[in-house]
């Protein structure tokens, strides 16, 4: 119980206090370095055209912008769309003098393989990473880049905003969890660095890029953590926004989180140096935010099991009743999702349980080596 209380309440409280006492403001200035915008796509015919148009609409000088779109063995119309943008002489890509390049892999190699090929070719001082589906606010690129006026900043991440949290109960629960997560990332960023980045919208200095190993699952966590290892800060900027839809069902969120949490367990090995408080400026954050949250399911199971043996004694009868009530509300949340009834009260315990089941599944996948670096999209 003490470990869980620290993980979900004590650590956030320490962060809040630390951000008040040891805040390190970022020196933002309206600089305009050359930027390379990188998107690696797999079967994104629905979004990729809009994504390119979105990049071109951003408030940033086009003569300082390079766009590189990679297709990782797409089998739909994605490659035809990105090649048409490259071929078209009348399209505004040409008229605006944006340097636009296409890198196509006929074989599906995985996102990491393409990233490691693309980044060394990029001409920009700043590399911006994003996914095909999420759209940037018009000022987001300018806001992201402004953080690099501070020479101590090596990575800057923007905020992912879900624009449909009220459409389903589970989306409301996921939205609550994401707001909690962003709040902690901002506090960590104020003190020194966030742990990882938002894959939909983040940027790094090209000179601090560390190629992830080919089997890396979470490039958007590995790359920023390696930036921190090199002595730079990884900061979270709420002024840079990208927009997306929340997961419509718990199954979709579960699939996504299993992959993410499997990747977290992998990172505990790949970035183990960050646990060392004598060498890592984010050792407390890495242990408290990433590690304890990932293994919280072990303490939840131990808490429930131990309480079963003590439930006939006060005050353990009360704690047992509280646990049973919490999980009962989670079950009601699952039933309500099946019947398309929205309830914020029930969705938060339900999503909490979904995320911890995903952590258990991710842990077992990691131990068994049953994971793929190739992202499979869940049906929406």
pLDDT digits (tens, 9 = 90+) for 199-227: 999 999 999 999 999 899 999 999 999 99
Q: Report d(CA 310, CA 232) in Å as an integer.
A: 49
Which residue reads 């990882």 in tokens?
A: 196
Distance (Å, whole) CA 47 – CA 131? 10
Q: How confident is the model at residue 94 (pLDDT cuts 50, 70, 90)?
A: very low
Q: Which domain holds residue 143?
A: 8-30+134-286
Residues in the chain: 380
Q: Give per-residue pLDDT as tens, 239-287.
A: 999 998 877 677 888 888 999 999 999 999 999 999 999 999 999 999 9
Tokens found for residue 46: 């629905």
Look at residue 237 and tell me if it is in a domain: yes
SS3 340: coil
Averaged pLDDT score across all residues of the chain: 90
Angle at CA of residue 8, ends 287 and 260, nearest 5°: 60
Number of other residues whose CB lies within 10 A of the CB of residue 87:
11
Question: Is position 358 within any domain?
Answer: no
Going by the DSSP 8-state scheme, the letter that residue 238 receives in this structure is E
Instruction: Name, in order, each residue with C-beta under 8 angstroms of 138's C-beta and a sequence gap of 6 or more.
Output: 57, 58, 59
142's CB contacts (< 8 A; 6+ apart) are 30, 58, 59, 60
Containing 113, the helix (H) or strand (E) segment is: helix 111-118
**How many structural domains does the chain have?**
1
188 part of a folded domain: yes
For the whole model, what pTM was predicted? 0.89
Task: Copy the structure tokens of residue 326.
Answer: 């919490």
Assigned domain for 143 exists:
yes
- At 91, is the pLDDT very low, low, confident or very high (cuts 50, 70, 90)? very low
Phi first, then psi, for residue 69 (nearest 5°) are -110, 125
Tell me the helix, strand and coil percentages in the chain, rounded to 5. Answer: 55, 15, 30
CA 284, CA 11: separation in Å to the nearest integer? 9
**Confidence (pLDDT) at 342:** 76
pLDDT number for residue 127: 98
Q: Is the pLDDT of residue 2 over 80?
A: yes
Which neighbouring-strand residues pair with 136?
A: 242
Residue 260 within a domain: yes
Q: What integer is the mean pLDDT of 127-155?
A: 96
How many other CB atoms are there within 10 angstroms of residue 18's CB atom? Answer: 17
Residue 176 domain-assigned (yes or no): yes
Is 22 domain-assigned?
yes
pLDDT, tens digit (0-9, with 9 covering 90-100), for 316-366: 999 999 999 999 999 999 998 888 777 778 888 999 999 999 999 999 999
| CA 9 – CA 180 distance, rounded (Å) | 11
The reply to whether 92 falls in a domain is: no
């Amino acid at each position: 119980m003490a470990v869980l209380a620290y993980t979900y309440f004590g650590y956030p409280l320490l962060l809040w206090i630390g951000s008040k006492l040891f805040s390190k403001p970022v020196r933002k200035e309206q600089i305009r370095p050359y930027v390379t915008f990188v998107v690696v796509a797999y079967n994104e015919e629905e979004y990729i055209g809009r994504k390119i148009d979105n990049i071109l609409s951003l408030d940033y000088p086009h003569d300082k912008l390079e766009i590189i779109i990679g297709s990782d063995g797409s089998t739909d119309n994605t490659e035809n769309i990105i090649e048409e943008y490259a071929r078209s002489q009348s399209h505004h890509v040409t008229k605006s003098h944006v340097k636009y390049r296409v890198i196509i892999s006929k074989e599906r190699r995985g996102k990491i393989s393409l990233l490691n090929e693309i980044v060394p070719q990029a001409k920009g001082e700043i590399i911006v990473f994003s996914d095909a589906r999420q759209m940037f606010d018009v000022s987001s690129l300018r806001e992201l880049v402004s953080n690099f006026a501070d020479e101590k900043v090596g990575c800057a991440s923007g905020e992912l905003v879900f624009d449909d949290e009220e459409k389903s109960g589970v989306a409301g629960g996921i939205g609550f969890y994401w707001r909690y997560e962003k709040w902690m990332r901002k506090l960590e960023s104020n003190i020194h660095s966030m742990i990882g980045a938002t894959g939909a919208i983040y940027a790094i200095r090209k000179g601090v890029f560390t190629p992830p190993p080919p089997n890396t699952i979470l490039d958007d966590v590995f790359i920023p953590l390696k930036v921190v290892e090199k002595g730079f800060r990884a900061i979270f900027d709420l002024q840079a926004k990208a927009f997306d839809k929340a997961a419509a069902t718990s199954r979709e969120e579960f699939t996504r989180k299993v992959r993410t949490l499997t990747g977290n367990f992998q990172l505990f090995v790949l970035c183990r140096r960050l646990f060392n408080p004598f060498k890592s400026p984010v050792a407390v954050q890495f242990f408290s935010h990433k590690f304890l949250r990932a293994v919280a399911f072990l303490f939840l199971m131990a808490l429930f099991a131990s309480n079963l043996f003590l439930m006939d004694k006060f005050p353990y009868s009360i704690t047992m009743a509280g646990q049973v009530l919490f999980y009962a509300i989670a079950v009601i949340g699952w039933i309500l999702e099946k019947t398309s009834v929205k309830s914020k009260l029930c969705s938060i315990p339900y999503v909490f349980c979904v995320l911890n089941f995903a952590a258990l599944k991710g842990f077992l996948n990691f131990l068994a080596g049953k994971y793929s670096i190739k992202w499979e999209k869940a049906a929406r």
